[in-house]
Amino acid sequence: MSAVPPFVNEPYTDFTKPEAQAAAAVSLAKARAELGKDYDLLIGGEWIKTSDKLTSTNPSNVSEVVGTFSKASAELATKAIESAHEYFTEWSQTDPVYRAELAMKVAAIIRERKMDFNAWLVLEAGKTWPEAEPEVAEAVDFCEYYARLMLKLAKPDPLVQMPGEKGQLVYLPLGAGIVIPPWNFPFAILAGMAIAALVAGNTVVIKPSSETPAIAAKFIDVLIEAGFPLKAFSFCPGSGNVIGDLLVEHPKTRFVSFTGSKEVGLRINELAAKPRKGQIWIKRVVAEMGGKDAIVVDRETNVDKAVEGVFVSAFGYQGQKCSACSRAIVDAAIYDEFLEKLKARVATITQGPSEKFENYMGAVVSASAKKSILEYIEIGKKEGRLLIGGGPAEGNGHYIQPTVLADIEPKHRVFQEEIFGPVLAVTKAKDFDEAIAFANDTEYGLTGAVYTDNPAKIEKAKKEFFVGNLYINRKCTGAMVGAHPFGGFNMSGTDSKAGGPDYLLQFLQPKSIAERIA
């Protein structure tokens, strides 16, 4: 392999430019021409149809069917993990350089067709174009970054050499694993989890979210085109209660890579911790489980900039990011001013089908998500004061008005519980110390931000704001691969730091070798 250039983040397309919008329209038409297509399972290198089907629809227009998917039975899921385990012996012996080359080919294919993948995120995940673009770029970044990490780990730093011995440390892949991506970043996070495992020499069974299986199917096509062997991965849509627990519990499963809710993540962790008959290892769980992220706004700051940072963090992609700001904790000295300016900013939001460039917000992902979010809004109206929004929005989709709830107390449910929608709770704090204490008063610990111009307060936040990703004087969303290794504390997950220099170690095991020499 020739010299690999240093890692550089993939640049974003500017959708204010007419040429970008024209290219997007072409890709949207291309994707729409494929809507309603039937998709098969891929297990053990074979494409398989089943009579049990899963249907995916466009959250912005529920009359539009994105695709129909064969669902795996318990028997087929068992075949998938056992086939992956069997093929691991061969795949694990491949040259790490070769695996890195394949990962870079995946990146090149995605980069070349970025707008096409954007279109699928618009249609199936309900993302606006400016929200879809960073996700596809992040998928490119993950592939490029993890390929470089594997090349580095294939030649680790030398050990201390004992007299009369030759010592070395090598990194070995783990085995067959389960990859369970979320619906809110169904392309980037899937690409990151799957490529990390595959480039490290593992085989994987991919169980996509039932909300976004078409996007996962498009990623499977890229793996095949790049040259990854069909037996190295399986595409296994299915019901969690039919195949989810089975895949986690199977004795041949070596690891589970999961991104999703706290409840499901904790269940996976619990099931994986119990050894099964025939199991000879402790299963490894790599989990990212969401958050209740806060932005602290100090009196010593530019209020307009803080309002914009909270606004973007709270309502980008309808608040459906695990990193989204769902709590704004504001110094009492500027609380009223902040609320007034925030209400005016939220009032400017345009909402409708995410494919329309004029819309800042689209629909939430599903009817069940909409129902849950609206129930939380009603709770919040009783706990605090409705500033703006507060109900469903018009349209043939799962639309909810951007909602701000003021005067929320730290023990209120909308302050403590993850809502995962366009709902922001605003809380008054008497000073910066109390604001940090309020921010830490949660079982989560994923992202957080602080707006202040006071250097001493910035240092305090660095030391005492207990989150995996802390941002100073900027929004709390938009982590960049390589620059902001991503993962949280407490109930936000295992802090495995996706897009960071240690992430690939989650999918490898070190072996120390000492050879006596003459």
In angstroms, the CA 333 to CA 354 distance is 38
**Burial class of residue 11 in the structure, from the number of CB atoms within 10 Å of its CB (0-12 exposed, 13-18 middle, 19+ buried):** exposed
CB 286 within 8 A of CB 265: no
Helix axes 432-440, 455-464, angle to 10 degrees: 20
Q: What is the 3-state secondary structure (H, E, C) of 46-67?
A: EEECCCCEEEEEECCEEEEEEE
Does residue 236 carry a catalytic annotation? no
Interior CA angle at 356 toward 480 and 308, to 5°?
45
> Which entry of 10, 144, 211, 322 is annotated as an active-site residue?
322
Helix axes 188-199, 96-112, angle to 10 degrees: 160
**Burial class of residue 20 in the structure, from the number of CB atoms within 10 Å of its CB (0-12 exposed, 13-18 middle, 19+ buried):** middle
In angstroms, the CA 31 to CA 23 distance is 12
Q: Tell me which residue of 231, 237, 143, 140 sits closest to 181, measured CA to CA.
A: 237
In 128-281, the DSSP E strands lie at: 165-173, 176-180, 203-206, 233-235, 253-259
> Which entry of 10, 131, 288, 355 is annotated as an active-site residue?
288
Does residue 288 carry a catalytic annotation? yes
- How is residue 67 written in tokens? 């695709």
φ, ψ of residue 471 to 5 degrees: the values are: -125, 135
User: Could you tell me which residues are beta bridge partners of residue 43?
Assistant: 46
CB 67 within 8 A of CB 217: yes
CB 421 within 8 A of CB 320: yes
- Burial profile 107-133: b = 16 or more Cβ within 10 angstroms, e = fewer: bebbbebbbbbbbbbbbbbbbbbbbbb
Number of residues written out for the chain? 518
Question: Which amino acids are annotated catalytic?
Answer: 288, 322
